[in-house]
Amino acid sequence: MVTSDFFIYISLFFYKNKLFTVKKNKNKTLRSHDNVKILRNVSLNLTISNTGDDAYDTNIYFNFSREVFYINFWQKEEKGISCELVDLDFLKCSVGFPFMRAQTKYHFAVIFDTSQLSGENDTLQFLVQAKSANPEHKLSDNSLDLSIPLVHETDTTITGVVTPTSFVYGNSIDASRFVQLEDMECNFQPLNLTFQAINKGPSRLPGSTVDIRIPNRLAGSGADMFHIIETQVADGRGNCTPHRNPTPCTIPQEKESIFHSIFAFFTKSGRKVLDCDRPGRACMTISCSLGPQLKEEALSIDIKLLLNTEILKRDSSSVIQFVTRGSVQVNDRAVEVPKGLPEDISLVFEALHSQEPRGYVVGWIIAISLLVGILIFLLLAVLLWKMGFFRRRYREIIEAEKNRKDSDESWDWMEKNH
């Protein structure tokens, strides 16, 4: 009885735009290289070896995804190999028709077009199997299952909006404009942050992470200003790390004199910028893990938080600007296209001081102004007295003027009599 014994050996080559070159047998695993480029065509370089007798009607069968298209085959030397596409996902190659000689090896390559991969699958699989009309005792080395992990190429970007973009705080502002938590004295300003992570393609995005950084303190050692109420990813397709402020209502208890309050009112500076990109700034980070996204699909992240305005009142700035930054990073199964869309964004909102002092401060300003006015008047009076303004001899001047007039009248009478 004539028997045959086949052994299949495959080397994998990504044609045109090379991702990596890996040799694989049935016991090895294919892994990707760090230098990943766009996958266009893939070439399966096969070596089939017959270690038995002449094998009649030898064929190699390929099963593959319908997203992959057969292009052609290539052989270095003419060995009587021909390939026929039986179905969109099934290829049959005849080797050495009508028979494959004993103790021979055939080398050829089969090229597939992979430019239409949707990216919905994480791997690209090829099932290769060799058969002949001869009986064979050892079939374990006649087939090969080749699984290629796919690295998805995406262009991700992030957008965002904050509401409101500005608000006014201060002692003269009606407390009904703010939010008060139960059993807490603080006035809180509600804020809503909405971020959108968008996958612009060209492939499906397996997953991503969005990091949101919010400046949380006026100074490095100060109290936390923000209290997170809720973080939510649209349709439950992700989750965010919980962040809780154990003491949301913190009222600074710094004892200051009236003179310090007056000085702070008159020395209000223009603008303070709280930006997490600046060194030494204490920030709160919210990290959200997002699920898969198709091309042109966006996932929204909504954050509701409260800002403690009592802490803002202690600052000497008339305008406090908060710069919140968000960034998106793809996971290790994806790669960003070079020179793509920006992957970070900054949202700005402002807290505006009402510039109106407390009632007792106004009273003290009026009282001090009057006192200063009186002191200035007394000072001027003393200066005039020192200069002799109040020491002039008015009586002598008046009497001299009177004597002069009497003398003029006497002369007039004598002239009339003569």
Structure tokens at 266: 């008159």
pLDDT value at residue 103: 83
Flag whether 380 is in a domain: no
Question: Could you read off the pLDDT of 67-114 as tens digits, one per residue?
Answer: 899 999 998 888 888 999 999 999 999 988 787 888 888 888 999 998
Residue range of the domain that includes 336: 154-359
Report which of 180, 154, 62 is spatially closest to residue 111, judged by C-alpha positions. Answer: 62
Residues 101 and 220 in one domain: no
Residues 159 and 243 in one domain: yes
β-bridge partners, 199: 156, 297
Rounded Cα distance between 60 and 84, Å, is: 11
Does this model's pTM top 0.75? My answer is no
Report which of 100, 106, 160 is spatially closest to residue 347, judged by C-alpha positions. Answer: 160
Residues 333 and 211 in one domain: yes
Q: Do residues 95 and 106 touch, judged by C-beta distance below 8 A? A: yes
Flag whether 337 is in a domain: yes
Residues 252 and 340 in one domain: yes
Residues 193 and 312 in one domain: yes
Q: Do residues 184 and 248 touch, judged by C-beta distance below 8 A? A: yes
β-bridge partners, 340: none
Rounded Cα distance between 404 and 7, Å, is: 148
What one-letter code names the amino acid at 163? T
Q: Which H helix or E strand runs over 403?
A: helix 394-417
Mean pLDDT of the 343-349 span: 95
Report which of 129, 139, 136, 141 is spatially closest to residue 53, judged by C-alpha positions. Answer: 136
Residues 127 and 169 in one domain: no
State the DSSP code for 4: -
Q: What is the phi/psi pair of residue 277, to 5°?
A: -80, -10
β-bridge partners, 283: 215
Residues 102 and 245 in one domain: no
Residues 231 and 355 in one domain: yes
Flag whether 399 is in a domain: no
Q: Do residues 81 and 96 touch, judged by C-beta distance below 8 A? A: yes
Residues 193 and 306 in one domain: yes
Report which of 124, 127, 163 is spatially closest to residue 142, judged by C-alpha positions. Answer: 127
Flag whether 215 is in a domain: yes
CA triplet 126, 132, 138: central angle to 5 degrees?
Answer: 80
Q: Please say which residue of 150, 178, 200 terminates a domain.
A: 150
Indicate whether 307 pLDDT > 70. yes
Higher-confidence residue of 340 and 364: namely 340
Higher-confidence residue of 17 and 269: namely 269
Specify the 3-state DSSP secondary structure of 360.
Answer: helix
Flag whether 384 is in a domain: no
Specify the 3-state DSSP secondary structure of 272.
Answer: strand
pLDDT value at residue 392: 58
Longest dimension (CA), the chain: 186
What value does the mean pLDDT of the chain take? 79
What one-letter code names the amino acid at 410? S
- The total domain count for the chain is 2
Residues 138 and 182 in one domain: no
Domain containing 104 — which CATH number?
A: 2.60.40.1510
Question: Could you read off the pLDDT of 165-212 as tens digits, one per residue?
Answer: 999 988 778 888 899 888 888 899 999 999 999 999 888 888 999 999
Flag whether 280 is in a domain: yes
Residues 114 and 193 in one domain: no
The number of C-alpha atoms within 13 Å of 3 and in the hemisphere containing its C-beta is 7
Q: How far is CA 205 from CA 149, 156, 232, in A?
A: 14, 9, 20
Q: How far is CA 402 from CA 253, 399, 405, 409, in A?
A: 75, 5, 5, 11
Q: How far is CA 147 from CA 27, 63, 126, 144, 317, in A?
A: 11, 12, 7, 10, 62
Q: What is the phi/psi pair of residue 399, to 5°?
A: -65, -35
Residues 258 and 355 in one domain: yes
State the DSSP code for 234: G
Rounded Cα distance between 197 and 159, Å, is: 7
Indicate whether 35 pLDDT > 60. no
Flag whether 417 is in a domain: no
Higher-confidence residue of 278 and 111: namely 111
Flag whether 174 is in a domain: yes
Other Cβ atoms closer than 10 A to 123:
11
Sign of the Cα torsion 256, 260, 262, 266 reads: negative
Q: Do residues 327 and 210 touch, judged by C-beta distance below 8 A? A: yes
pLDDT value at residue 20: 26
Domain containing 269 — which CATH number?
A: 2.60.40.1530
Cβ within 8 Å of residue 23, ≥6 positions away: 10, 11, 12
